[in-house]
Amino acid sequence: MPREQFQNLTEPMYYILLALLDTCCGVDVMEMVKQLSGGRVHIGPGTLYTLLARFEQEGIISETKSEGRKRWYRITRKGTELLREEQERLKIQLADGERRMEGRIL
Amino acid sequence: MKWCLREFKLLELPAMETWFQKMAAKGWLIQRIHGGNFFGFEKMEPSELVFSVGVIGNMSVLSAENCEESLSYREYCEQAGWTFACSNRVIQIFYAQKADGLLPIETDEQLKFEAVWKQIRKAVIGQSLLGVLWLFLAFRFLDAESLLRSSVLFSSMLLISCSLIFLLDSIRILCWYWKGKWALKTGHGIRYCGWKKHAIYGTLWLGIEFLIIILCLGYMFTGSLRNGIYRLIYFVLYLLFLLLLQWLIRKRGFSKLGYSVLVTGGAIALVIVMMVVWDTLTLSGISNKSGIEIRDESWLLTLEDFEVPEGPVGDAILEQDSSIFGSRQEYHVWQEKTYSLDYKYYETEAEWLMERLKGELLTPYKSQYDEIHREFILKPQETYEDVKISCMYDRYTDEEGRVLEEHFWSYILETSGRLLQLNFSGSYELTEEELLYRAAERISVKEKGMGI
For B117-129, write each residue's pLDDT tens digit: 999 998 899 889 9
**What pLDDT does residue B208 have?**
80
Q: At B253, is the secondary structure helix, strand, or coil?
A: coil
**What pLDDT does residue B388 have?**
92
CB contact under 8 A, B72 and A71: yes
CA distances B392 to A44, A47, B304, Å, are 79, 75, 25
Mutation pick from A8, A50, A51, A70 vs chain B, by most beta carbons of B within 10 Å, is A50
**What pLDDT does residue B291 have?**
44
**What pLDDT does residue A105 have?**
65
- Integer-rounded Cα radius of gyration of chain B: 31
CA distances B401 to A48, B77, B372, B398, Å, are 78, 81, 12, 5
Work out the number of other CB atoms within 10 angstroms of the CB of residue B63: 21
**What pLDDT does residue B129 have?**
93
Sheet holding B2-5, edge to edge: B2-5, B38-43, B28-34
List B339's β-bridge partners, or say none: B335
d(CA B411, CA B271): 41
**What pLDDT does residue B222 have?**
64
**What pLDDT does residue B367 have?**
56
Q: At B224, is the secondary structure helix, strand, or coil?
A: coil
For B342-371, give one letter per residue: b (16+ CB within 10 A) or e.
Answer: bbbbbbbebeebbebbbeebeeeeeeeeee
Amino acid in the structure at residue A70: K
Intra-chain end-to-end CA distance of chain A, in Å: 33
d(CA B292, CA B327): 18
Amino acid in the structure at residue B196: K
**What pLDDT does residue B215 have?**
74
CB B378 within 8 A of CB B406: no
* Report field, pTM of the whole predicted structure over 0.80: no
Q: For B349, which DSSP code?
A: S
Please spell the DSSP secondary structure of B49-97, one letter per residue: EEEEEEE-TTS-TTS-TT-HHHHHHHHHHHHTT-EEEEEETTEEEEEEE
**What pLDDT does residue B177 have?**
94
> Chain B within 8 Å of A8 (Cβ-Cβ)?
no
**What pLDDT does residue B285 have?**
52
d(CA B223, CA B238): 21
CB A16 within 8 A of CB A29: yes
CB A75 within 8 A of CB A64: no
d(CA B66, CA B35): 16
d(CA B279, CA B226): 11
Residues of B in contact with A31 (CB under 8 A): none
Q: State how far Cα B165 lies from the chain centre.
A: 12
- Report the sign of the C-alpha dihedral through residues B57, B58, B61, B66, in that order: negative
Residues of A in contact with B82 (CB under 8 A): 45
**What pLDDT does residue B282 have?**
64
Question: pLDDT means per 10 residues in chain B (452 residues)?
Answer: 87 91 94 88 93 89 84 91 91 88 88 92 89 86 86 81 88 92 87 84 81 75 72 82 85 82 84 76 53 67 82 78 90 80 92 92 69 78 88 84 85 92 85 88 68 46
User: Each residue of B59-77: pLDDT tens digit?
Assistant: 887 888 888 889 999 999 9
**What pLDDT does residue B449 have?**
46
Nearest to A92 by CA among A6, A8, A26: A8
CB contact under 8 A, B77 and A69: no
> Chain B within 8 Å of A30 (Cβ-Cβ)?
yes
Select the more confidently predicted residue: A1 or B82. Answer: B82
User: Each residue of A36-95: pLDDT tens digit?
Assistant: 999 899 899 999 999 999 999 999 999 998 888 788 999 999 999 999 999 999 999 899
Q: For B147, which DSSP code?
A: G
**What pLDDT does residue B446 have?**
64
CB contact under 8 A, B111 and A69: no
CB B231 within 8 A of CB B219: yes
**What pLDDT does residue A5 have?**
58
**What pLDDT does residue B60 have?**
83
Find the chain B residues whose C-beta atoms sit closer than 8 A to any C-beta of A: 52, 54, 56-58, 71-73, 75-77, 79-80, 82, 103-108, 110-112, 114-115
Nearest-CA distance B94 → chain A (Å): 11
**What pLDDT does residue B364 have?**
77
- Closest residue to B54, CB basis, from A46, A51, A71: A46
Contacts of A43 (CB under 8 A, 6+ apart): A12, A15, A16, A29, A30, A33, A51, B103, B107, B108
